[in-house]
Chain A
Amino acid sequence: MRKGRWPFIITFLTPPLALYLVFVLSPFIQGVQISLTDWTGLTPTFNYVGLQNYISLFQDAEWWHAVSNNVKLLIVIPIVTLTFSLVLAALLTRGGTGGARSGLAGSKFYRVVYFFPQVLPVVIIAIMFQFIYAPQGGLLEKFLSWIGIDMLSIIPNGPLGNQGIILWAIAFVAIWAGVGFFMVLFIAGMQQIPRELFEAAAIDGASRTRMFFHLTLPLLWGHVQTAIVFIGIGTLDMFGLLSVMARNGLSADSGADVMATQLYRTAFQGNSLFGYASAMATMLLIFSLILAVVTFRITRREKIEY
């Protein structure tokens, strides 16, 4: 077992590691380095300014506003998405007790349809919803007027033209796009749970609902944990949706600004403050790391072996 270990380890680890170091790690380290300069992003020259960018960032009210939006989204999107996907998964598998094939009429059809948004590029989804939310002649407005509600008198200027609502309108799109994926993931997990457990519980007279909360959910916890980290990191970004959908006159202060969009504007659209934007990105990196660690800590449970 030990003979020829090292040549093997080196041969196998070198290509992936080299690729990773050159194209991922070194650019990131350079990025952190840029955050210590006043580089504009347009010139070959720059000066080191130490932590000046970070000091400005901490005094920047707009930045904190963007951070608070991120936090709001981080709370709402994962909770709603995962709840919906768990509920749908439970319904399709009869409370997580399997039977996805033999269960509800059309369950196979639903599983395919719910996954659709996942295979559409985010750019497409964003453009689509821009038109759905359009204040005049958008699908939403027409649908509401069809059931007798005048959208513009409730939400002047439509969901994307309204400070209080724009963030949630975009969050809805993120939820719409994410539910199917996590539902399929959970169904997959539910089907791995040995049937004998459910059969035993059924003999004891447990109801399906009870089984779901006392058997399915605990046994599914590993999946849920993975899903939370995954969706959390996705929510921290959201750049694709926001950059298309929040591009309007109120966006600068409409509350739909998050770290990623502000960072993009600072780097590419403002007075080219690349150093400053890199400081933002470094903060975003720190937040992501904290998020991942915290999620694993909070959701850690006794592992249940089956």
Chain B
Amino acid sequence: MTTMPTAAPPTEPSGEPPSEPGLEAVGTRRFGGARILSDGVPQIFLVAWALLVLLPMLWVLLSSFKNNTEIFSSPFALPAKWQFGTYARAWETANIDQFFLNTVIVVVFGVLFTLLFSSMAAYVLARYEFPGSRIVYYVFLAGMTFPLFLAIVPLFKVTQSLGLFQNLQGLIVVYVAFSLPFSVFFLTAFFQSLPKELAESAFIDGAGHFRTFFQIMLPLAKPGLISIGVFNFLGQWNQYLLPVVLNPQKDDQGSNLLLTQGLADLALKMRYESSPTSVAEMFAGLIIAMIPVLAVYIVFQRRVEEGLTAGALK
């Protein structure tokens, strides 16, 4: 790969500050071109896809209030008797609150440290010429293509010998390490695209390398950091194999489990424990797990999109 993909600099529509990329700037100015695409046909298409996304989720929501017989006999009908107990039972048996808390801890710290370490490495690789810098860069890059399975057994040896096995801090460390390749790749391109003059003028003002980074470069890189933060949040939130192997259940309540593990357990339980509402209980578990994430997404939706905007490579 001889040409490095470079990050897009924030656009500067006239009269808009550079730190406000994308949406706001564009949306406020009407574009007065001819409307060739009428709204009718696209709307049909858009509605269809929205239904395709929403229906399964709504079906799961509705089914979580039914007993098994009702779920499998009439999917769209309202339940004869609303089974609100399914949520309480899912909550009790699955210990979901604990899983949730664990997941939040791991992902928050995981993302923060990923941002810190990857921006440090990326900045050095992007802005400093030194012997071996290309090699370091490509070593990081190679990590993007590693299939996790290959490392899984040696990895649990490493974590065990460091006391990082079966606990949350161990997961955080491993998550950060595995998030580095993509983040370094992405942020290196981003730092390369930032104007050099600012750093240089800072040096002339007598700031050292460290101060320049933390006071000048990091704030400038905010859009890229948000974007990488979003990527890693989603990736780490969804991680399943790593916790299953490196963080097996410690006690009866599974006080150390993450959400994905807990849900998989719940689905497995379904294979053995069957009450008349067992399917509904599992669906209730799924809903309980979905709601907060969806809520967070809806609240932060603009930040997410901005992050993607800022960090998009071109």
Contact = CB atoms under 8 A, between A and B. Distances in A.
Q: Is B a genuine binding partner of A?
A: yes
Interface in B55-70: 55-57, 59-60, 63
B73 interface: yes
B149 A260 contact: yes
Given A139-B56, A288-B145, 20 more contacts: A16-B118, A20-B177, A20-B181, A23-B174, A24-B181, A31-B152, A31-B153, A34-B153, A95-B37, A99-B30, A109-B50, A120-B293, A122-B240, A124-B289, A128-B56, A142-B74, A191-B309, A192-B21, A237-B147, A288-B146
Interface stretch (B41-49, B88-96, B249-257): B41-49
Minimum-distance CB pairs A-B, first 4 = A137-B72, A101-B27, A222-B314, A281-B150
Identify which of B145, B176, B282 gathers the most chain A CB atoms within 10 Å of its CB. B145
A113 B147 contact: no
A1 B72 contact: no
B196 to A, nearest CB: 11
Interface stretch (A4-12, A74-82, A151-159, A249-257): A4-12
B259 interface: yes
16 contacts: A30-B157, A84-B49, A88-B46, A94-B31, A105-B43, A110-B50, A120-B293, A123-B240, A131-B283, A132-B59, A142-B76, A184-B304, A191-B309, A208-B33, A264-B149, A292-B145
B142 interface: yes
Contacts of B284: none
Interface of B is mostly: helix
Contacts of A216: none
Contacts of A104: 39, 42-43, 46
Nearest to A130: B267
A260 to B, nearest CB: 7
Interface string A222-246: 1101100000010011011000100
A236 B184 CA distance: 22
Interface of A is mostly: helix
A42 B33 CA distance: 68
Given A16-B121, A188-B312, A289-B145, A116 B73 contact: no
A65 interface: no
A225 B241 CA distance: 28
B279 A131 contact: yes
Given A4-B208, A23-B173, A28 B158 contact: no
A264 B244 CA distance: 13
Interface in B5-60: 5, 8, 11, 13, 21-23, 26-31, 33-37, 39, 42-43, 45-46, 49-50, 52-57, 59-60
A276 interface: no
Contact of B263 (A124, A194, A207, A291): A124
A223 B227 CA distance: 14
B5 A92 contact: no
A161 interface: no
A116 B26 contact: no
B203 interface: yes
Interface of A: 1, 4-6, 8-9, 11-13, 15-17, 19-20, 22-28, 30-32, 34, 41, 84, 87-88, 91-92, 94-95, 97-102, 104-106, 109-124, 127-129, 131-132, 134, 136-139, 142-143, 146, 176, 179-180, 184-185, 187-189, 191-192, 194-195, 198-199, 202, 207-209, 219-223, 225-226, 233, 236-237, 239-240, 244, 260, 263-264, 267, 274, 277-278, 281-282, 284-285, 288-289, 291-293, 296, 300, 303
Contact of B180 (A16, A132, A260, A277): A16
Nearest to A185: B308
A296 B279 CA distance: 45
Contacts, number: 324
Given A24-B177, A30-B154, A281 B136 contact: no
A123 B42 contact: no
Contacts of B173: 19, 23
A128 B60 contact: yes
Contact of B259 (A6, A16, A87, A121): A121
Contacts of A223: 312-314
A277 to B, nearest CB: 7
